[in-house]
Amino acid sequence: MPNFIFITGGVVSSLGKGLASAALGALLQSRGFRVRLRKLDPYLNVDPGTMSPTQHGEVFVTDDGAETDLDLGHYERFTGVSAKKTDNVTTGQIYSDVIAKERKGEYLGATIQVIPHVTNAIKEFITSDLESEDFVLCEIGGTVGDIESLPFLEAIRQLGNEIGRNKTCFLHLTLVPFIAAAGELKTKPTQHSVKELQSVGIRPDIVLCRTEAQIPDEQKDKIALFCNISRNSVIEALDADNIYNVPLDYHNNGLDEAIYSHFKLKPKKPNLKIWHDIMMAIKNPEEEVNIAVVGKYTSLIDSYKSLVEALVHGGISGKIRVNITWIDASNLCNDKNFSSNFENMHGILVPGGFGERGSDGKIEAIRFARENKIPFLGICFGMQMAVIEAARNLSLIEGAGSSEFGIVKSPVVGLLKEWVKDNSVVKRSVHDDLGGSMRLGAYECHLSEGSLVEKVYSKNIIFERHRHRYEVNIDFKNQLEDKGLIFSGMSPNGILPEIIEYKDHPWFIGVQFHPELKSKPFEPHPLFREFVKASLNYSRLL
Ligand code: GLN
């Protein structure tokens, strides 16, 4: 049985529990431990797939096709461990499973209750589908005191007793705010939050304190005293200027030591070289590029979490700082000074998206990148719009559009009605539920010999993660190829166009998948690395 670390949060939301969990995972790995990270989300949606990106942030997709919370993206980026379907659960999913079992009569006449049936289902989720991990880090979404999180807290309390307190650790993340008027950091909210946690029977073993100013020793003593924990278990988590510094900060502040002392482990010395190297590259850039991201969810940057990180990663190996300028596609078409939006931009990226609003602006931005030979990367919706741009402006296909926008005369992008997954055919129709019915997860893609993407990847078979309902329509291939668009990546059966590029453009690539989901700071995704490099080359021409 692995050691379990349960991470809860208190005082306010958005303290960065996901990042804290991910950074701790990386620290444990630096001592040679195998880790697994999981997230329990207390909301009622079965998964975040149907939620608005501007409310909930990005939907992170795993290789095995689960639509999950964006925190799983942090976990992968910090630990490199590929998350699975079984690493994220929601209240909605737990209840659906319990109710489905009840309908099948599997509870043999029992009255179904939150305790024990729902809590048992939560415990089963936490402890199942494990391999030979040394540590399982389990983050509980929400804030202690929320009604929704109670069954989850009860389940981890029970697990603490069942697995044994020597195999479980409760880590509580709180806020120690700085009150400017008093000129002081305040520990009271932390005390109250721990009290709240204790009221459900959980005594934290470690309190990790988010703060914008260093916490003086007396204040740490106070937290230890009032929270009934040892002084070494009060760890300061000062705001970091870069998220990739967090593992190093936590290590310097003794978080991993506190964990090992709790579990009575004497691990080998940590190897934190990769994090030092990453920070060196980020802090000492030798070049910089400006990338315009033309999207629609620009009001909440978390909607593009992995994308932003992948762009940063793309610059790391070449010591290039990537400056992102967000351009809202919605009003772009009516902008009289359209081209001024792209002044000083060295690359244009159109990310994933849904719905017609903003699509014309995206198409215009793509035309601008194509005509002016500016490096362009189109992701998912961005690729679909690039094909529509070519169909309208180069192939002059009348009424070229996407069936996502309603009935169009020439559906250059149309609803995906069937595709092959693990050797069997998956079918979809317009009447299907919205939730969980897209083409999701990792699919194989074959790259054409001599293409730009083949050069970028240095191989010709790749696996990338998908999340889309529509697809470029192969029926228009010849008309588009006649005008210079190349279908350089296809599904193995040759039916689904997965990558497009142009013969006579220095760097123009559209991909039907989401490469940003697989990028790591220590292993930048080749598409982002090469896009940033191409943008740098373009900047030198100006
Ligand atoms: N809306 C498009 C589709 O469903 C693109 C999706 C995306 O960009 N993730 O196919």
Tell me the CATH number at 62: 3.40.50.300
The answer on 141 and 53 residing in a single domain is yes
What is the 8-class DSSP label of residue 223?
Answer: H
The answer on 320 and 259 residing in a single domain is no
The strand pair at 206-211 and 168-175 is best described as parallel
From atom 7 of ligand 1, which residue's Cα is the shortest distance away? Answer: 352
Any ligand 1 atom below 6 A from CB of 428: no
Ligand 1 midpoint to CA 53 (Å): 13
Token readout for 375 is: 């490096």
The answer on 209 and 333 residing in a single domain is no
- The separation between CA 332 and the C-alpha centre of its own chain, rounded to angstroms, equals 27
Any ligand 1 atom below 6 A from CB of 468: yes
Looking from the CA of residue 416, the nearest atom of ligand 1 is 10
> What does the alpha-carbon distance between residue 271 and residue 254 come to, in Å, rounded to a whole number?
15
Per 3-state DSSP, the chain is made up of helix, strand and coil in percentages (nearest 5) of 40, 25, 35
Whole domain around residue 335: which residue ranges? 285-412+472-488+497-541
Structural contact between residues 27 and 250, judged by C-beta atoms closer than 8 angstroms: yes
Ligand 1 midpoint to CA 467 (Å): 7
Residue 261, domain member (yes or no): yes
- Judged by DSSP in three states, 251 sits in helix
Residue 448, domain member (yes or no): no
Token readout for 260 is: 């090992």
Ligand 1 midpoint to CA 268 (Å): 46
Q: Which stretches of 52-187 are DSSP H helices?
A: 53-56, 71-79, 91-103, 119-127, 150-163
The model's pTM is: 0.94
Which residue's entry shows tokens 């902008």? Answer: 335
pLDDT of res. 425:
86
The answer on 144 and 192 residing in a single domain is yes
Of the three residues 277, 304, 320, the one that is the final residue of a domain is: 277
> What does the alpha-carbon distance between residue 260 and residue 248 come to, in Å, rounded to a whole number?
16
Active site residues: 380, 514, 516
Looking from the CA of residue 352, the nearest atom of ligand 1 is 8
> What does the alpha-carbon distance between residue 292 and residue 35 come to, in Å, rounded to a whole number?
36
pLDDT of res. 466:
97
CA dihedral defined by 450, 456, 462, 464, rounded to 10 degrees? -140
One-letter amino acid for residue 227 of the chain:
C
The answer on 205 and 57 residing in a single domain is yes
From atom 5 of ligand 1, which residue's Cα is the shortest distance away? Answer: 381
Looking from the CA of residue 413, the nearest atom of ligand 1 is 10
Please, what is the angle between helix 71-79 and helix 17-29, to 10°?
20
Ligand 1 midpoint to CA 514 (Å): 10
Of the three residues 227, 245, 277, the one that is the final residue of a domain is: 277
Any ligand 1 atom below 6 A from CB of 354: yes
Looking from the CA of residue 351, the nearest atom of ligand 1 is 8
Residue 300, domain member (yes or no): yes
| pLDDT tens sequence across 155-203 | 999 999 999 999 999 999 999 999 999 889 999 999 999 999 999 999 9
Residue 445, domain member (yes or no): no
Any ligand 1 atom below 6 A from CB of 469: yes
Beta bridge partners of 472: 413
Beta bridge partners of 67: 61
Kindly tell me the burial class for residue 240, based on how many C-beta atoms sit within 10 Å of its own C-beta (0-12, 13-18, 19 or more).
Answer: middle
Any ligand 1 atom below 6 A from CB of 405: no
Any ligand 1 atom below 6 A from CB of 513: no
Best mutation site among 380, 404, 417 for ligand 1, i.e. most ligand atoms within 8 A of its Cβ? 380
Any ligand 1 atom below 6 A from CB of 353: yes
Residue 250, domain member (yes or no): yes
Q: What is the pLDDT along the chain (542 residues), one digit of tens a residue?
A: 899 999 999 988 888 999 999 999 999 999 999 999 999 999 999 988 888 888 888 999 999 999 999 999 999 999 999 999 999 999 999 999 999 999 999 999 999 999 999 999 999 999 999 999 999 999 999 999 999 999 999 999 999 999 999 999 999 999 999 999 988 999 999 999 999 999 999 999 999 999 999 999 999 999 999 999 999 999 999 999 999 999 999 999 999 999 999 999 988 899 999 999 999 999 999 999 999 999 987 777 888 999 999 999 999 989 999 999 999 999 888 888 899 999 999 999 999 999 999 999 999 999 999 999 999 999 999 999 999 999 999 999 999 999 999 999 999 999 888 888 888 888 888 888 788 788 999 999 999 999 999 999 999 999 999 999 999 999 999 999 999 999 999 999 999 999 999 989 999 999 999 999 999 999 999 999 999 999 999 999 98
Of the three residues 277, 307, 322, the one that is the final residue of a domain is: 277
> What does the alpha-carbon distance between residue 434 and residue 307 come to, in Å, rounded to a whole number?
24
The answer on 202 and 96 residing in a single domain is yes
> What does the alpha-carbon distance between residue 458 and residue 456 come to, in Å, rounded to a whole number?
6
Residue 67, domain member (yes or no): yes
> What does the alpha-carbon distance between residue 366 and residue 388 come to, in Å, rounded to a whole number?
10
The answer on 239 and 110 residing in a single domain is yes
Tell me the CATH number at 345: 3.40.50.880
Closest CA to 518 of 349, 313, 348: 313
Give the number of domains in the chain. 2
Long-range contacts of 178-183 (CB under 8 A, 24+ apart): 178/211, 178/212, 178/213
Ligand 1 midpoint to CA 394 (Å): 23
CA distances from 145 to 39, 189, 229, 271 (A): 18, 13, 20, 38
CA dihedral defined by 242, 215, 137, 72, rounded to 10 degrees? -30
What is the 8-class DSSP label of residue 523?
Answer: B
| pLDDT tens sequence across 108-156 | 999 999 999 999 999 999 999 999 999 999 999 999 999 999 999 999 9
Residue 11, domain member (yes or no): yes
The answer on 306 and 239 residing in a single domain is no
Token readout for 315 is: 């610059």
Please, what is the angle between helix 71-79 and helix 305-316, to 10°?
20
From atom 6 of ligand 1, which residue's Cα is the shortest distance away? Answer: 468
The answer on 144 and 120 residing in a single domain is yes
Q: Which stretches of 80-183 are DSSP H helices?
A: 91-103, 119-127, 150-163
Kindly tell me the burial class for residue 406, based on how many C-beta atoms sit within 10 Å of its own C-beta (0-12, 13-18, 19 or more).
Answer: exposed
Summary count for the chain: helices (H), strands (E): 17, 25
From atom 8 of ligand 1, which residue's Cα is the shortest distance away? Answer: 352
pLDDT of res. 56:
83
Any ligand 1 atom below 6 A from CB of 381: yes
Any ligand 1 atom below 6 A from CB of 414: no
Ligand 1 midpoint to CA 378 (Å): 12
Closest CA to 67 of 433, 471, 429: 433
Looking from the CA of residue 380, the nearest atom of ligand 1 is 8
Ligand 1 midpoint to CA 287 (Å): 33
The answer on 121 and 190 residing in a single domain is yes
pLDDT of res. 502:
97
Best mutation site among 402, 404, 439 for ligand 1, i.e. most ligand atoms within 8 A of its Cβ? 404
The answer on 353 and 219 residing in a single domain is no
Please, what is the angle between helix 91-103 and helix 119-127, to 10°?
110
The answer on 262 and 303 residing in a single domain is no
Residue 434, domain member (yes or no): no
Ligand 1 midpoint to CA 468 (Å): 4
Please, what is the angle between helix 217-227 and helix 188-199, to 10°?
20
Token readout for 63 is: 């290789």
Torsions phi, psi for 116 (to 5 deg) = -100, -10
> What does the alpha-carbon distance between residue 539 and residue 420 come to, in Å, rounded to a whole number?
42
- The separation between CA 145 and the C-alpha centre of its own chain, rounded to angstroms, equals 26
